[in-house]
Amino acid sequence: MATPIQIKPTAPTRYVVKKGDTLWDIAKHYLNSPWNWPEIWYDNPHIKNPHWIYPGDVLTLYYVNGKPRVMITGGPRTSGLPTVVLKPTVEYQSLPKTEHPIPIQTITPFLVHPRVVPVEVFDKAPHIIAAADRRILYDTGNHVYVRGLPSDAKESWYSVYRPGGALKDPKTGEIIGHQVIYLGDIHITHRGKVSTGVLEHTREEIAAGDRLLPMVRKHYDYTFMPHAPKSGIHAQVIALFNSISMVGQYQVVVIDSGTRDGLTRGDVLAVDQHGRVITDHFATRQESRTVELPNQHIGLVMVFKTFERISYALVMSATKPIMVGSLVHNP
């Protein structure tokens, strides 16, 4: 039987959303376990986009058959905003900027230009083999030759990446992904067994062997609803970004679990530090002198991008630095 949702004794009956609030912040006003927010949230069917939260929205806590519920009951969207009639019978309402559950500026670079690519994607990616003028290093405006482009592909623009360190499965040692460095873009001007392209917007010099991945042009949905995973997750942190050895709140980690394990966007996971191994100088003859202490809970992360075997996750809270090897599991 599911454990009943526990509302904090200090939870406000009425809360007005402020500019700068995140969904995570708001959920923490009501719950000790913010990932349970979907269990208490109730969509108001009388307002547009009831699953989004905007500055000025009034949230009200009430109970239905003993179960807690939070719903938008007041604010600009319920009292009515000025409307502009653009066409007969069609009206548009301008809404305040929506408040996201996480700092969007932190995760955007990871959505636009990948920092980690699954091994099955990177190893099959097309690659540059030479330049038209036989130079060794290439820059913006140089014509280069590419091998491995699908003949039926519709894309004419790609981004160019160079492999960095390999990411390995902590249990098997198998390579499951590559850290990559974004170098620039390329416009394919001719397709064939060997294709031709022109380099654009290069950030670093490009060389033979650098790989092509489709350029990201789509608009991302930045709405995340934090929730507990529906499947059992037992993973580890296998890479950090913008750090040599440890990270904290609102930094990004890579974990060795993905869609094949049931992970989805918005899944919240607990992070543990491995228990230290110590020597017990007071052990009896029947007891081992070597003792492994229990793992220690040190934080929470939320998954924001998934691949088959790896995922990006944002550190939502941390009481101690999170490192490669930290354990990740259901909260």
Partners of residue 300 on adjacent β-strands: 270, 317
114 and 206 together in one domain: yes
CA distance 174 to 313: 21
pLDDT of residue 34: 87
Long-range contacts formed by 130-139: CB under 8 A, 24+ apart: 130/208, 132/196, 136/207, 136/208, 137/205, 137/206, 137/207, 138/199, 138/202, 138/205, 138/206, 138/207, 139/199, 139/202, 139/205, 139/206
133 and 51 together in one domain: no
208 and 245 together in one domain: no
32 and 114 together in one domain: no
pLDDT of residue 87: 40
What is the number of domains present in the chain? 3
Residue 310 lies in a domain: yes
Residue 58 lies in a domain: yes
CA distance 219 to 202: 23
pLDDT of residue 35: 86
pLDDT of residue 290: 95
CA 42 centroid distance within chain: 25
Q: Which of 62, 93, 124 is the last residue of a domain?
A: 93
Q: What is the tens place of the pLDDT at every residue in 123-135?
A: 899 999 999 998 9
Residue 299 lies in a domain: yes
207 and 138 together in one domain: yes
169 and 74 together in one domain: no
Residues of the chain with pLDDT under 70: 1-3, 43-44, 46-51, 79-106, 109, 111-112, 217-223
Q: What is the tens place of the pLDDT at every residue in 241-266?
A: 877 788 999 899 999 999 999 999 99
H or E segment at 86? strand 83-87
210 and 114 together in one domain: yes
Q: Which of 27, 62, 93 is the last residue of a domain?
A: 93
CB within 8 A of 310, min separation 6: which ones?
116, 118, 167, 176, 177, 238, 254, 255, 256, 257, 258
Do residues 254 and 326 lie in contact, with contact meaning Cβ atoms separated by under 8 Å?
no
127 and 75 together in one domain: no
CA distance 279 to 304: 41
Question: Hey, CA dihedral for 178, 183, 185, 190, is it positive or negative?
Answer: negative
Residue 4 lies in a domain: no
The model's pTM: 0.71
Residue 150 lies in a domain: yes
245 and 307 together in one domain: yes
pLDDT of residue 79: 62
Residue 46 lies in a domain: yes
Q: Which domain does 167 fall in, by range?
A: 110-214
pLDDT of residue 218: 59
143 and 63 together in one domain: no
Strands 194-200 and 252-255: unpaired
284 and 254 together in one domain: yes
For position 245, which CATH number holds?
2.40.10.410
Residue 126 lies in a domain: yes
28 and 115 together in one domain: no
